[in-house]
Amino acid sequence: MDVSIESFLDSLVNKQEEKEEDISSINKEVETEHIRFKRKDLITMLQLSSSIINTKSNQYVPKSITILYNEFGYRMVANNDLEYLEYEFEVLNEDKRLLDTICLPIELIKSISSMLDEEIIIYKKEENYYIRLLLEGDLYLDLPKPESTLLRRPINGYKPLYFKQELGQDSNLVSCSHLQEALKAIMPIVEEEPVLDRRRITFLLDRAYFASRTYFIEYSLPLPKMRISLRFAEVLRKITLAYSEDGVIEFYQDEQIPSRIIVKCLGVLFTSTVTSVYEESKLIEYLDRVRTYKQLLVDLKDIEKVVNIAYSLPYSRKEVNIKYNNDLVLSVPMRTKTTEFKVPFKEIGKIKSKGDIILSAGSLKRLVDSFGSGEAIITILDSCLIVNKKNLIGVIEV
């Protein structure tokens, strides 16, 4: 993702908060056709679509937000070759509504963001477009004209994509808060995958997971069966963040192109293609058995403190040796010495064998960060460390 777009969004949100206490306002009287809408709707759309806007496209779709009116009403649209996102927003003026398609390039929004009022007015005078700013005078907009065919929904009708819920009933709905928890845990691990084509998350009916040579991480949650790209996951995460309190994600499938998935949440519609699922069946069966081992209960904060030392200390070898033999000891090898830290734990069930493993501090830090704080069960094997916490299980290999 483009850092400049993300930093711009942060500054835009901060300015929005400052403007809430600003009593200045633009003149809302307009004699010609116009649209008047809330500034926060533009900010929401930018946040939802930043991953899509920043994607290179072979088609003539500039890095922009397009405002259009169609059979569904007023929408803000962002798209590229593979993805399409639209956001329903409220137009505040009841009369003299402008129905033209208006393309707002990101660079334009950046340049005038500090001069936008809480309500934005764009109007048409003769054949020209203008935007009203917190200045004495309105800004002429020299706007691109994308082909209308590129702004149509790339959907041939769609049907609910059903999957089994925990109680056995069919549904196409997932809670925003639950999906957000799953993506929050898995995505940082996926982002570390060096091969771009492998940066995909698999939804497998009862879990979401990612597997690589170093990691396996999964979150138990009823989901439709498909494999999504990291960018698809990023858009999903942004939607769940925007509507986390009471929102639900609805999954649909294109009636003519089964690989095209449609996601809906309140006033948001997003569509992209997915790939077939190749199950790591042996690994999943193995991990399902591992869930029953339940060896050592630890506080992840204690693990995190030692890992951070190994990761950040300049003269550390960037490794952590985890050893269990009556005591649970985490060692940090230095250039000439090794420092040992005893970590409190509680045995759960039968301890099958002694454990001793050396892991990369950076890799272990990323896994621990995905789990956050709280208690977790760890299993130390010859070639890997397994961390198990409620719905989340992670594996890191030597």
Q: What is the pLDDT of residue 3?
A: 45
Q: What is the tens place of the pLDDT at every residue in 155-175?
A: 889 999 999 987 778 999 999
Q: Do 139 and 117 lie in a common domain? A: yes
Query: What pLDDT does 144 receive?
Result: 85
Sheet of strand 327-333, all strands in order from the earlier edge strand to the far edge: 338-342, 327-333, 319-325, 355-360
CATH code for the domain of 38: 3.10.150.10
Q: Is 253 a residue whose pLDDT tops 50? A: yes
- Same domain for 265 and 293, yes or no, is no
Asked if residue 303 and residue 238 are part of one domain, the reply reads no
How do 84-88 and 268-273 pair as beta strands? antiparallel
Whether residue 349 lies inside any domain: the answer is yes
Q: Is residue 204 domain-resident?
A: no
DSSP code of residue 107: H
Count of structural domains within the chain = 3
Residues 144 and 266 in one domain: no
Q: What does the pLDDT look like over 72-92, one tens digit per residue?
A: 899 999 988 889 999 999 999
The partner residues of 378 in beta bridges, in order of sequence, read 296, 387
Average pLDDT, the chain: 87
Question: Among the listed ranges 4-18, 320-334, 375-389, which one has the minimum average pLDDT value?
Answer: 4-18
- Rounded to whole angstroms, the Cα distance separating 245 from 248 reads 9
pLDDT value for 168: 78
Residues 235 and 348 occupy one common structural domain: no
pTM assigned to the model? 0.86
Convert the pLDDT of each residue in 341-372 to its tens digit: 999 999 887 665 567 899 999 999 999 999 99
The pLDDT assigned to 149 comes to 60
The answer to whether residue 376 is domain-embedded is yes
Token couple for 15: 């300015």
Q: Same domain for 17 and 136?
A: yes
Q: What is the pLDDT of residues 87-128, one digit of tens each?
A: 999 999 999 999 999 999 988 998 898 899 999 999 999 999
CA distances (Å), origin 67, targets 32, 92, 146, 231, 372: 18, 14, 12, 23, 40
Q: 234-248, 283-297, 333-347: which has the minimum mean pLDDT? A: 283-297
Q: Are residues 147 and 166 in the same domain?
A: no
Q: Identify whether 336 is part of a domain.
A: yes
Question: How are beta strands 207-211 and 268-273 bridged, if at all?
Answer: unpaired
Residues 369 and 327 reside in one and the same domain:
yes
Domain that holds residue 335: 284-397
Residue 203 lies in a domain: no
Last residue of a domain, one of 262, 277, 292: 277
For residue 317, tell me if it sits in a domain: yes
Range in 1-10, 40-49, 238-247 with the lowest mean pLDDT: 1-10
Please check whether residues 192 and 321 belong to one and the same domain.
no
Q: How far apart are CA 235 and CA 261, in angstroms?
A: 13
Q: Which of 249, 277, 305 is the last residue of a domain?
A: 277
Domain boundary among 256, 277, 298: 277
Do both 271 and 290 map to the same domain?
A: no
Residue 175's Cβ-count burial label (10 Å; 0-12, 13-18, 19+) is middle
Based on the domain organization, do 16 and 57 belong to the same domain?
yes
373 inside domain: yes
Whether residues 44 and 113 fall in one domain: yes
The verdict on residue 205 lying in a domain is: no
Q: Worst-scoring range by mean pLDDT, 24-28, 177-181, 289-293?
A: 289-293
- According to the model, what pLDDT value does residue 23 have? 42
Cα(187)–Cα(184) distance, rounded to whole angstroms?
A: 6
